[in-house]
Amino acid sequence: MSRRLESGTRFAGYLIVSVLGEGGGGVVYRAERPGGGPCALKVIGGPAGEDPGFATRFEREARYVSQLRHPSIIELYESGRAEDGTAFQAMQYVEGADLGARIVRGVLDAATAVFVLDQIAGALDAAHAAGVIHRDVKPGNILLEDDGWPRSRAYLTDFGFAKNPTRDSVALTQQGWFVGTTGYTAPEEILAQERDYRVDVYSLACVMYECFVGRPPFLRASAVEMLKAHVTDPRPVVTELRPDLPPALDEVIARGMAIAAVQRYSSCSALIEAARAALGTPGEVAAGTSTEVALGASAPAAEAVRPSDQPTLVRPVRPPPPSSRRP
């Protein structure tokens, strides 16, 4: 199905209310469940509906999410196909916005950022304990309830690129390629090396950096340059843009975003605990206040581009060959 569903129509028993979002994989609607109550209804459409790999990922996502139980993982109500064969998922509806939209309005104060990301870290650790790696942690996949801001409930969503290394033996992309969001992708993904749950630790550290400074870690003139920066460049320094924050936080980000996975924190929650320790006791960090930070302050705005929030199919970046010159 490629057409957009109109408000008031029914699809697989669900009453369509409005469009929440649309991308290359289809459309997400706000809908009413057959038994009553709101839900987010994700419906495959467009070219993705003809792509066997996308359909397999869609069905695998449903299988994973249905097995995960955590208060900060979006609940899956139903997954199936409509009478015309169109695949869909009905999920928990969150009244609010994603973290990316929140950051656009102003960077988060330190206490609020840690409060939000602590919930997501718990969700990721729960997924890892079940053998599932998310592989696409980014602000756009973190939903926030507006009620009670700045102490919002946070939810992790979109397990479309998740993987269980012990069970998933079938490659869903072309050999030698990977799918990722350039601003938050771990070096081992980019280099097509062996990977584990620490790719999510890396991505969460990237999100933490963005919460504090209002921009992703590496802004470059092209997606390829961004990917190379993840692999080769010095780790970003938070205090260059936020001198009001403690230097110890730079060390936390550097370890969370370590190029070698073995040098990162042992879990997402360990990353959050290190950030909390670097920031001091809650009483020393004011909550509920946003700080205005110029986007791209450490790079010329005309030369830097923000990474697309959409996952991109790219070839792995190959590191330069070692120099043959003797020291």
User: DSSP letters of 137-195?
Assistant: -SGGGEEEESTTTTS--EEE---TT-B-TTT--S--S-TT-EEE-GGG--HHHHTT---
The H-assigned helical ranges of the chain are 52-67, 99-104, 110-129, 187-190, 198-213, 223-232, 238-241, 248-256, 268-279
Instruction: List active site positions.
Output: 136
Among candidate residues 37, 318, 54, the one with its CA nearest the CA of residue 173 = 54
Burial group, residue 213, by CB count within 10 angstroms (0-12, 13-18, 19+): buried
What tokens does 7 get?
């408000």
Among candidate residues 93, 91, 83, 92, the one with its CA nearest the CA of residue 11 = 83
The H-assigned helical ranges of 7-67 are 52-67
Tokens 């602000």 belong to residue: 139
CA–CA dist 57, 54 (Å, integer): 5
Identity of the amino acid at 225: E
